[in-house]
Chain A
Amino acid sequence: MNVEHLIPFLASTAGAATPLILAALGELVTERSGVLNLGVEGMMLVGAVCGFIATLASGSASFGLLVAALAAMAASMIFAFLVLTLQTNQVATGLALTLFGVGLSAFVGRDFAGQTVPPLEHLHFPVLSDLPFLGPLLFRFDALVYASVLAVPLVGYILTKTRLGLVIRAIGEAPASAHAIGYPVIALRYAMVLFGGALAGIAGAYLSLGLTPMWVEGMTAGRGWIALALVVFATWKPRGVLLGAYLFGGVTVLQFHGQGFGLAIPSQFLSMLPYLATIVVLVLICRDPRTILLNKPMSLGQNFKADS
């Protein structure tokens, strides 16, 4: 193993981790409010294709990201309406949303396959970016890489230190009690599902605008599922998402950098690793049920209907 391979490996780890952080943070907030949205993969694909088309048409990546967020929010709105208003089963509806997103994105994007856009602009900090070693390692990424990392403490702060976060945790734990005190459980859950949708959309667009600036059908390649696993891996704590995303991101890119390090492990095994790691972590945290009880939203996946 040598440094000339290490820097590109670490740098591309950040790229791989960014969409995972964004999608997982969004899902984490959604789940903290008690809603399990298994449609992350679908929402990411909708975001990826819409963001790509918008960028291609307008030439502006920022506009593309905005469109991606709005499109995925629209997709999550369908989910929210079904689950929160019509009281459908959250697991089935979430799976349906993923299937819907896969099909819809393939349909919308069929004329755009293979086209490319300029990749997201990488920031250049004076002096810092030109530092040897540290420059390419820390100071030459696009804005979303930094934004995603900063979003972690921000979400953590909101969840633990603000009244909004307190209310979100409360409705995730005991919606009936929260309703009894007078909090608008359903409205807040709508908001949290939409927030999760927006972040999933941006995460998807990061794939089609940043990582590989083109549209390919099904290009999320299971990242939505990894993001879902990450939320559990992190035991619903934002800082765990950061750690897990870089870990899983690293493992994902190891598939491509493995040869440079002289690793003879077949890439299929490496692509299994995030899921294996999640299972191992699940087993480990289940040994201490207190962690789960204190962090897992107790009403997760259960519908709530306010009686008159």
Chain B
Amino acid sequence: MNAPAPPGGTPPRLQLTGISKIYPSVVANDKVNLTVQAGEIHAVLGENGAGKSTLMKIIYGVTHPDAGEVFWEGRPVHIESPRAARKLGIGMVFQHFSLFETLTVAENISLAMDEKAAPAALAPRIKQVSEDYGLPVDPMRLVHSMSVGERQRVEIVRCLLQQPKLLIMDEPTSVLTPQAVLKLFESLRRLAAEGCSILYISHKLDEIQALCDQATVLRAGRLSGTARPKQETPRSLAELMIGKELPVCHLEPRPTAEVRLALRKLNLNSDDPFGTALKDLDLEVRSGEIVGIAGISGNGQQELLKALSGEARLADPAALQIMGQDAGGLDPAARRERGLCFVPEERLGRGAVPDLSLADNALLTGYVPQYGTGMVRRGLVQRAAVTDFARKVIERFNVKCGGAGAAAGSLSGGNLQKFIVGRETLLAPKLMVVAQPTWGVDIGASMLIRQAIIDLRDAGVAVLVLSEELEELFMMSDRIAVLADGRLSQAVPIASTSVNQIGIWMSGTFAASADGGAHHAQA
């Protein structure tokens, strides 16, 4: 502690001044300043691509800044590596976990500790810390058998064992149920009360207001402001974050018509040994309504999507009905011929072929004659029609790209998603299934995508949306159901439920769907 004490007592725990990081194609950080006090929960707020993650990587020593200075407790430091960062007392919980699936919790934690402690010796300490902070984990369990929430606990406990002075959390709540989020917040508040500073990265305004003392807002790599979240409104925070007013989408009540998608006791075993089997799913989606399915990935979402798209065929053809006809045994092309359009969760690989141009990617689903796009005539591809269609999608959905000839893989995630949703929308579906419509998409584009889906519904399409973002589902669904542990809850009208109740359902506590009934009165 030989640092010169600045006026005003103790120096801030961490201070960044004028940090810049330039990548070949993008300026990730441009003269960013950030000050975190001891024991402070400090939000770093910004849209995808605003430069939050780069800034955190610089603090954790994963990358190095091109310009600017880092002060740790008043002293200038160069954080060369994550190891050096941990030595200072910085811990980081990554957005994409860095756990080893085939190893136990204790082995995983042992690997990440700088002191060479044997897994067996660590086990009691892991138990102790995890119980102290209300983050129960069993040190002897293999990671692959754990849920995402449990894995996150492991990551946090791993950081806590090193008694950090600064804990960085990158989008920690994206995989948690609302109740688990509250529990996490309790643990974090407790940690902060003990003097640990927390850098909390998120784009969820309500969470930041509930948790954080101070916020630094980034926009397009630059500092766009600092704020005390509790004294701001979500609106003013959003304006700092996106630089303009938060757009909204409108969902007017409208009558529904015939059932276009029905699941009747749908069962499916997962072909992934760590997947989740679907058990007796019942659901109806009618023309002119959006049914949202909430739930955290890994609860059967992938299996349900496969069952819906036709990637997995069902043993019982009657378990899935499209437009009133048995479709469980049909392949994806045959289902599309019946009027199904589909936006998968994985954009590259399932939604689009990375190396093909946008035009060719449009052809991949648009060739189906029933869509009437005229892309294929007598077995021959009509280039002009294909390119026209792709251009129409690009224009209508404001896709930022190098034209219809640009490779799908060259687009940013958000723009590619706009293209895929646009492509499926313009195919004039009768039934639309959308998975994670706005995952990783910035707020402006998210609203555009949601509005496009709502417009489909208003045109009489039956829409099924699977999403992890409850806020989104409450914004755009007529009815909502929960998929947890391979079981589907009843689909209830949005007005008759609450985030809280859906959150409880997401943890798997609901009566099995005796559905079909709840919404019939609406028809």
Contacts and interface: CB of A to CB of B under 8 A. Distances in A.
Contacts of B94: 180
A265 to B, nearest CB: 38
Interface residues on A, range: 20 to 34
A293 B102 CA distance: 8
Contacts of B81: 182
A84 B383 CA distance: 44
B311 interface: no
B98 A163 contact: no
B408 to A, nearest CB: 23
Given A163-B116, A177-B100, A181-B112, A293 B144 contact: yes
B273 interface: yes
Contacts, number: 53
A167 B63 contact: no
Given A163-B116, A163-B118, A181 B111 contact: yes
Interface string A255-297: 0000000000000000000000000000000000110011100
B18 interface: no
B523 to A, nearest CB: 44
Interface in A166-194: 166-167, 169-170, 173-174, 176-178, 180-183
Contact of A298 (B82, B102, B112, B119): B102
A167 to B, nearest CB: 7
Main secondary structure of the interface of A (DSSP, over half): helix
A180 B100 contact: no
Contacts of B274: 293
A170 B63 contact: no
A77 to B, nearest CB: 27
B504 to A, nearest CB: 32
Contact of A163 (B82, B100, B110, B142): B110
Interface string B71-106: 000000000011100000000001000111111000
Given A167-B111, A180-B62, A182-B83, A173 B273 contact: no
A187 B142 CA distance: 27
B98 A177 contact: yes
A178 B94 CA distance: 13
Given A166-B103, A177-B98, A182-B82, A308 B63 contact: yes
Given A181-B82, A182-B82, A289-B273, A169 B102 contact: yes
Contact of B119 (A166, A173, A183): A166
B273 A170 contact: no
Interface residues of B, number: 23
A298 B116 CA distance: 25
A293 B103 CA distance: 11
B107 interface: yes
A169 B101 contact: no
Contacts of B119: 166
Contacts of B62: 180
Contact of B82 (A167, A169, A180): A180
Contacts of A295: 102
A169 B103 contact: yes
A170 B273 CA distance: 21
Interface string B272-286: 011000000000000
A176 B81 CA distance: 15
A182 B274 CA distance: 28
Contacts of B101: 173-174, 298
B110 A166 contact: yes
B98 A174 contact: yes
A294 B107 CA distance: 14
A260 to B, nearest CB: 46
A298 B143 CA distance: 14
A293 B98 CA distance: 18
Nearest to A183: B111
Contacts of A289: 273
Interface in B142-197: 142, 144
Contacts of B102: 169, 173, 293-295, 298
Nearest to A181: B112
A290 B144 CA distance: 10
Contacts of A181: 82, 98, 111-112
Contacts of B107: 166
A169 B112 CA distance: 14
The CB with the most chain A CB atoms within 10 A, among B94, B99, B102, is that of B102
A34 B142 CA distance: 20
A178 B101 CA distance: 12
A177 B99 contact: yes
Interface string B350-391: 000000000000000000000000000000000000000000
Nearest to B64: A308
A290 B103 CA distance: 13
B100 A170 contact: yes
A173 B103 contact: yes
A178 B116 CA distance: 15
The CB with the most chain A CB atoms within 10 A, among B98, B111, B116, B119, is that of B111
Given A163-B118, A166-B111, A182-B82, A293 B100 contact: no
Given A163-B116, A167-B111, A170-B103, 19 more contacts: A163-B110, A166-B110, A166-B119, A169-B102, A169-B103, A173-B100, A173-B101, A173-B103, A174-B98, A177-B98, A177-B100, A180-B98, A181-B98, A181-B112, A182-B82, A289-B273, A293-B102, A294-B102, A294-B144
Interface of A: 163, 166-167, 169-170, 173-174, 176-178, 180-183, 289-290, 293-295, 298, 308
Ranked nearest first, the 8 interchain pairs of A and B with the lowest CB-CB distance are A177-B98, A289-B273, A182-B83, A181-B112, A173-B100, A180-B98, A170-B100, A290-B273
24 contacts: A163-B110, A163-B116, A163-B118, A166-B103, A166-B111, A166-B119, A167-B111, A169-B102, A169-B103, A170-B100, A170-B111, A173-B100, A173-B101, A174-B100, A176-B98, A178-B111, A180-B82, A181-B82, A181-B111, A183-B111, A289-B273, A294-B102, A294-B142, A298-B102
